[in-house]
Amino acid sequence: MTVSSRCICTAIDAKALAKIIEGPAGGATYIDSHPWIVARELLDEVTAGAERLPLIFATGNPIVFSHWAFVATIDVRELHHGFWETRCEIGALKPVNPIWESIDSIVLAPSAEQLHREHVEPVHTHRQMLDEQHIWPYAVCETPAFVTDA
C-alpha cells in the first residue's frame, strides 16, 4: 500500500507519548476525548484507496514534532451525551528527523475546491503552515516527505 497524500497531526502530552514509546514495539493505542469523526472518515477513504494514513505526534514546550506511525483503526464512541472517546490503533512509532521537528514544517491540507482551482486555473499554489492553534485536537495536513512506506 502507498502512503496517503494527507496525514493527521496532533499534540500529545510528553508522559502519554513516553507511555506509547515504552509499550509494545509493534504498535499502540492513542486515546483522545475529542471525537475524531472526520479523521475516521479520512481513514476509511484512504483505506478504500489502498493507502496508509500517517499520524504525526507533536509534544513539548515549545511544541515540536517527535514521532509518527501509520493508523490501523480509529474508533469513535459517545460515552454519554457530550462525552466522547476516540481510540486510534497505530503501528510502530518512528522518530521524526530533527530537520522536520518544527511545527511549521508541515502544511494544512487544502480544500478540494482549492486543489481543483489550482489544477484548472492559472493561480499560484497557496498553502497555510501548521501552527499551535490548528493542531488541537488534530489537523488534517499534507503528508510530509519524511513519511515513507519503508
pLDDT at 114: 84
Q: What is the pLDDT of residue 119?
A: 85
This model's pTM is above 0.85:
yes
- Identify the pLDDT of residue 150: 64
> Could you give the angle at the alpha carbon of 95 between the alpha carbons of 94 and 98, nearest 5°?
155
Place of cell 521524526: 96
Query: What per-residue confidence (pLDDT) applies to 137?
Result: 93
Characterise 35 by phi-psi region: left (phi > 0), alpha (psi -120 to 50), beta (else): beta
- Cα 51 from Cα 55, distance rounded (Å): 13
31 phi and psi angles, rounded to 5 deg: -120, 135
Q: In the prediction, which pLDDT does 80 show?
A: 85
Of 14, 75, 9, 66, nearest in space to 40 by CA: 75
Write the DSSP string, 57-102: EEETTTTEEEEEEEEEEEEEEEEETTEEEEEEEE---EEPPGGG-B
pLDDT at 92: 92
Please give the average pLDDT of every successive group of 10 residues along the chain, which has 150 residues.
Answer: 95 93 84 96 97 97 96 94 93 94 94 85 83 93 90
